[in-house]
A and B are shown apart, each in its own frame.
Chain A
Amino acid sequence: MNILDFSATCPVPIAKYPQVMMAHGGGGTLMHQLLRDVFGKAFSNPILDAAHDSAQFAVPPGKLAMTTDSYVVRPIFFPGGDIGSMAVHGTVNDLAMSGARPLYLSCGFIIEEGLPMETLWRVVCSMRDAARRCGVKIVTGDTKVVDKGKGDGLFINTTGIGVMEHSLAIGPQNVQPGDAVIVSGDLGRHGMAIMAVRDGLEFESAIESDSAPVVEPVLALIKSGIAIRCLRDLTRGGLASALNEIAEAAGVKIAVEQNSIPVRPDVNAACEMLGLDALHVANEGRLVAFVAKEDAAKTLKILAGFSVSANAASIGSVVEKSEPLVVLRSAIGANRILDMPSGEQLPRIC
């Protein structure tokens, strides 16, 4: 199966409705057609196909994990992904941060009147493919259409449920002095990809988003018996925010090495040009893992076996219980505080 195949034409008769109209959210025939022919067709599975007001499923043994996230990315399509695949990856990744195997997703669509039907279809197909790749079923959903000018094309909310098939207590409270700090790949790509297309920056090569699921490597780590202390999805605020949050929650000092942190040269160049710090920039398919020191080498080896985490790197360690603090050893060998970014990342003047 070609999972990126958009060639299948949109099942809603586009000649008749090339754009989403208010009536598509109005509860009548058009809405039913949209639900049946677009969402129902793409996401089809026995639970969804039951077409009940709520999805019904048996609960597997083990603790459940649940998370929700809303996706408002602009533009809807960007190099390396789109709002649909991101809405699946992001929520699935949040489940993975508990070491949970993702089972079910809900999806809520808020569509602005006038959105091309073809665009909606492409996004839905992308969600379908992403869900298949992640082994997760979309079992319930909702659609609202808002007046032209009251939305930004398309917003998606997804809620995910996963099952924890392990007994590890994964969370910042388990972080201990001596733990190794490992990132699953190069940093900053998603944020710079979005900034480049949004602001019409013309870099020589297109930076593509890192949007991807990190479920497989996480489940592999658990299966191999690695004592994972903490996992964190490196989204908005980047590595710097994640490390500071963990230092704060765990009451520890974390030390990392600038030279060990993987950042692609083109991302680095774009950041330098705009006066941004790659460690503050968002990712959509990267995690930081805290594991026992003796598990570090094995963790890196396992991560290296998956394409999404092929460039995993050990970047530092937890130094001691202390006032929360993240220290970065700079490229020239001096130490400085790695702080959380303050507010929105604004490009510098010079």
Chain B
Amino acid sequence: MKYLDEYRDGALAQKLAAEIHRVTTKPWTIMEVCGGQTHAIVKFGIDELLPQQIELIHGPGCPVCVTPLEVIDKALEIAARPEVIFTSFGDMLRVPGSTTDLLSVKAKGGDVRIVYSPLDAVKIARENPNKEVVFFGVGFETTAPATAMAVYQASQLGLKNFSMLISHVLVPPAIEALMSSPTCRVQGFLAAGHVCAVMGYEEYLPLAKKYRVPIVVTGFEPLDILHGILMVVRQLEAGRAEVENQYVRAVNQAGNRTAQDLVKKIFKIVPRKWRGVGEIPQSGLGLGDAYAGFDADKKFGLTDRLVDEPAECVAGQILQGLKKPHECGAFGGKCTPEHPLGATMVSSEGACAAYYRYRRHETIAKLKP
């Protein structure tokens, strides 16, 4: 397939891997921020091609995983209401709240619909004027412009039966929170290419400087990721700490100004709780005051909910790179994709689910053909 197969070439992958082996002289710990990259790493077995000294830590970049429990609970409560059509991206449906999940609410008669774009939710609202249509707005900077456009369109159309349950999050504050933690082990970052396609990478420059950490904006295909790792290792080996762009075919320094302007117009920056991490200041997007009428939280009177996470789940340590999924006692036993304890097991982009799915029985001997 054009623009994909070129970046999955086995021979080129082996060449890049050989180059990484050649330049690596010390152990390095690198975090891929984005869940999409985690998914590709395990799906293609990229980490198997790397030298032993290189450890990949799967970062907090899965929007499904980091959506806090209380927001899921709010979603469940809203979706169960008879007057509501609740719309969401597909993989939010399986995420467990405190008691149940959206798929179960649907089974009990809730009108829960998968949409592929927030604009589809606006369309549903236009077609169902007697229903309250709610969209579950989650995701990083990548999906924020589409959510913003939906709010903008709804406002232009004067829709009164449309609202959003928003849990948008931002990458740079999360990197800042990770790097300022005394337990942080990360020495280099693969920044999420698609986030940067929207935002550019100017905001990463002060982070690289302040924490002396290389940050390489990286794509999502196997050759992108191997190339990104190679660029980080080269910096680490040379003692450099710069922002570099591996994903030049999609990202430039300034990003997509139109999308940024729209996000700025609709949203304001707010503190946000991350599931498994806790509250990170200035790390979320909430609806701006002019668009507060589209806030489902307010519309359904659900503000000020707080829920504690199950103590057994170590999703927080996994999202912070302090533990690997299989180091958790519940992994694969009490906690599976069918019965997830925490959200990192739910989304196929979650680190635990990715490990479970692609590495369940792994021992090196067994994987040898």
A259 to B94, CA, bound (A): 31
Chain B residues positioned under 8 Å from A344 (CB to CB) = 103
Question: Which listed residue, B44, B48, B116, B369, touches A347 by the CB 8 Å rule?
Answer: B116
Q: From residue A240, how far is it (CB to closest CB) to chain B in Å? A: 10
Within 8 A of B (CB), among A98-144: none
Question: Which residues of chain A are near B42, meaning CB under 8 Å?
Answer: 336
* A262 to B194 CA separation, bound complex (whole angstroms): 29
Known contacts A199-B116, A330-B45, A343-B338; decide if A325 and B361 are in contact (CB<8 Å): yes
Residues of chain A within 8 A (CB-CB) of B103 are: 344
Complex interface bits, B1-43 against A, C-beta within 8 A gives 1, otherwise 0? 1001000111001100000000000000000000010000011
Other-chain residue from B9, B90, B138 in contact with A346 (beta carbon distance below 8 A) = B90
Please tell me if the beta carbons of A339 and B347 are within 8 angstroms of each other in the complex: no
Tell yes or no: B185 within 8 A of A by CB.
no
User: Does A332 sit within 8 A of B, measured CB to CB?
Assistant: yes
A335 touches B114 (CB 8 A): no
Q: How far is the CB of A222 from chain B (nearest CB, A)?
A: 30
- Residues of chain B with a CB closer than 8 A to A339's CB: 356-358, 360
CB within 8 Å of A: which B309-345 residues:
336-338
| Minimum CB distance partner of B362 in chain A | A337
- Contact status A332-B91, CB under 8 Å: no
Does A201 touch B at the CB level, under 8 Å? yes
Q: Which one of A265, A323, A334, A348 contacts B45 once the chains associate, using CB atoms below 8 Å?
A: A334
Task: Say how far B226's CB is from chain A's closest CB, in angstroms.
Answer: 8
How many residues of B sit at the interface, in one of the four size bands? Answer: 35 or more
Q: How far is the CA of A201 from the CA of B117 in the complex (A)?
A: 11
Whether a CB of chain B sits under 8 angstroms from the CB of A349 is yes
Among B64, B116, B338, B361, the most chain A Cβ lie within 10 Å of the Cβ of: B361
8 Å CB interface, B225-257 against A:
none
Q: B140 to chain A: which residues have CB within 8 Å?
A: 350
Closest to A269 in B: B1
Cβ B44 vs Cβ A331 within 8 A: yes
A349 close to B139 (CB less than 8 A):
yes
Which positions 252-307 of chain A face chain B at CB distance < 8 Å? Answer: 253, 255, 259, 265, 268-269, 272, 274-275, 277
Q: Which secondary structure dominates chain A's binding surface? A: loop
Q: How far is the CA of A329 from the CA of B8 in the complex (A)?
A: 13
Check B90–A347 contact: CB distance below 8 A: yes
CA distance A343 to B348 in the complex (A): 12
CB distance A336 to B45 under 8 Å? Answer: yes
- Known pairs A319-B369, A342-B337; A199 contacts B92 (CB<8 A): no
CA distance A336 to B360 in the complex (A): 9
Q: Does B93 contact A (CB under 8 A)?
A: yes
Q: Is A61 an interface residue (CB 8 A)?
A: no
Contact A332–B10 (Cβ < 8 Å) = yes
Chain B residues closer than 8 Å to A325, beta-carbon distance? 361, 366
Would you call B142 an interface residue if the criterion is a C-beta within 8 Å of the partner chain's C-beta atoms?
Answer: yes
* Given A330-B45, A334-B49, A349 contacting B89 (CB threshold 8 A): yes
**A335 adjacent to B44 (CB under 8 Å):** no
Name the residue of chain A whose CB is nearest to the CB of B92.
A349
Chain A CB within 8 A of B284 CB:
no
Contacts of A199 in B (CB 8 A): 114, 116
Residue of B nearest to A333 (CB): B10
| Distance to closest chain B CB from A41 (angstroms) | 40
Whether A265 contacts B1 by the Cβ 8 Å rule is yes
Q: Which of A305-339 contact B (CB under 8 A)?
A: 319, 322-323, 325, 327, 329-337, 339
Pairwise interchain contact A347-B10, C-beta atoms closer than 8 A: no
- Give the chain B neighbours of A255 by CB distance below 8 A: 369
Most B CB contacts (10 A, CB to CB) among A272, A325, A330, A350 go to: A350
Given contacts A201-B116, A350-B194, contact A332 B13 (CB under 8 A): yes
Tell me the complex Cα distance, A343–B194, Å. 28
Which residues on A sit within 8 Å (CB–CB) of B143?
349-350
Return the contact of B369 from the options A259, A272, A274, A329 (Cβ within 8 A).
A329
Cα A255 to Cα B368 in complex, Å, equals: 10
Cβ contact of A335, chosen from B1, B48, B194, B223, cutoff 8 A: B48
Contact B48 A334 (CB under 8 A): yes
User: Cα distance A339–B44 when bound, in Å?
Assistant: 14
Is there contact, CB below 8 Å, between A259 and B10? yes
Smallest Cβ distance from B149 to chain A, in angstroms?
A: 16
Residues of chain B within 8 A (CB-CB) of A322 are: 366
Task: Check B367–A332 contact: CB distance below 8 A.
Answer: no
Structural contact, B349 and A335, CB atoms closer than 8 A = no
A333 near B89 with CB under 8 A, answer no
Residue contact B45 to A332, C-beta cutoff 8 Å: yes
Q: Is B302 among interface residues, defined by CB-CB distance under 8 A? A: no
Name the one of B36, B43, B336, B356 contacting A350, with C-beta atoms under 8 angstroms.
Answer: B36
A323 to B92, CA, bound (A): 33
Question: Given A342-B338, A349-B63: A335 and B367 within 8 A (CB)?
Answer: yes
A–B complex contacts, Cβ < 8 Å, 7 sampled: A319-B369, A327-B369, A332-B13, A333-B14, A334-B44, A342-B338, A349-B139
Interface residues of B (CB under 8 A from A): 1, 4, 8-10, 13-14, 36, 42-46, 48-49, 63-64, 89-94, 103, 114, 116, 138-140, 142-143, 194, 222-223, 336-338, 347-349, 356-362, 366-369
8 pairs of A and B residues whose beta carbons are closest in the complex: A334-B45, A346-B90, A332-B13, A347-B90, A342-B337, A349-B89, A331-B8, A334-B48
8 extra A-B contacts, CB within 8 A, seeds A274-B116, A333-B49: A268-B4, A331-B8, A333-B13, A333-B14, A335-B48, A337-B359, A349-B63, A349-B89
